[in-house]
């Protein structure tokens, strides 16, 4: 059996705003950020169903949150990345659907925050340890299924 599946798929793709993004820019990013977690969840679902209290943790992003990207105080509202942001918003809806319809499986989305990693040239303000706090919490604590949260607490979808 498998107790916890962490779907941590993320590529940035073209960092361009809506006017400079082409339809072909979506395919590789959606293939990883959206279809990757769907493939992994489908592949491991039989093992998850054999566990006593299975959970799936989707590693999303504040950039996939309508609330964060609409709030001028949040850094997420300043990032023109049509492809990446929409891919993580799609992942959040997938999380919501799984949480509603995968009976007995606790499914949540987690925003690790802007973390210093190779993906962003180590420009994030927090450490990898800080960025993984919410992921570890989702894996080990009694979190409410179907929620989206970060180390700061609940996040708006």
> For residue range 40-50, what is the model confidence (pLDDT) as tens digits?
999 999 999 99
Task: Report the pLDDT value the prediction gives residue 23, as an integer from 0 to 100.
Answer: 95
Q: Identify the burial level of 67 via C-beta atoms within 10 angstroms of its C-beta, where 0-12 means exposed, 13-18 middle and 19 or more buried.
A: middle
Q: How confident is the model at residue 140 (pLDDT cuts 50, 70, 90)?
A: very high
Strands 153-154 and 148-150: antiparallel
Whole-number Cα distances in Å, 26 to 13, 63, 66, 111: 8, 16, 19, 21
Instruction: Please tell me which residue in 88, 98, 100, 114 is annotated as part of the active site.
Output: 88
The predicted model gives 121-145 an average pLDDT of 91
Q: Is the pLDDT of residue 123 over 90?
A: no
Task: Report the pLDDT value the prediction gives residue 63, as an integer from 0 to 100.
Answer: 92
Global pTM value: 0.92
Contacts of residues 22-26 at CB distance under 8 Å and 24 or more positions apart, as own/partner, are: 25/83, 26/83, 26/86, 26/87
Q: Which domains does the chain have, with CATH numbers?
A: 4-154 (3.40.50.720)
In the annotation, is 84 catalytic? Answer: yes
Q: Is the pLDDT of residue 119 over 80?
A: no
In the annotation, is 30 catalytic? Answer: no
Instruction: Please tell me which residue in 84, 98, 100, 114 is annotated as part of the active site.
Output: 84
Distance CA 94, CA 40 (A): 13
Q: Is the pLDDT of residue 120 over 90?
A: no
> For residue range 49-101, what is the model confidence (pLDDT) as tens digits?
999 999 999 999 999 999 999 999 998 999 889 999 999 999 999 999 999 99
Task: Report the pLDDT value the prediction gives residue 55, as an integer from 0 to 100.
Answer: 98
């Amino acid at each position: 059996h498998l107790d916890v599946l962490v779907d941590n798929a993320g590529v940035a793709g073209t960092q361009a705003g809506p006017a400079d993004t082409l339809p072909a820019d979506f395919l590789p990013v959606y293939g990883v950020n959206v279809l990757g977690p769907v493939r992994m969840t489908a592949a491991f679902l039989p093992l998850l169903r054999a566990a006593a209290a299975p959970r799936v943790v989707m590693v999303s992003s504040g950039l996939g949150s309508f609330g964060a990207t609409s709030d001028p105080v949040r850094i997420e509202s300043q990032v023109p990345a049509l492809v990446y942001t929409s891919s993580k918003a799609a992942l959040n809806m997938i999380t919501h659907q799984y949480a509603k319809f995968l009976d007995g499986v606790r499914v949540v989305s987690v925003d690790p925050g802007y973390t210093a990693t190779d993906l962003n040239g180590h420009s994030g303000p927090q450490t990898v340890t800080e960025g993984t706090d919410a992921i570890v919490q989702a894996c080990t604590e009694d979190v409410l299924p179907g929620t989206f949260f970060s180390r700061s607490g609940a996040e708006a979808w």
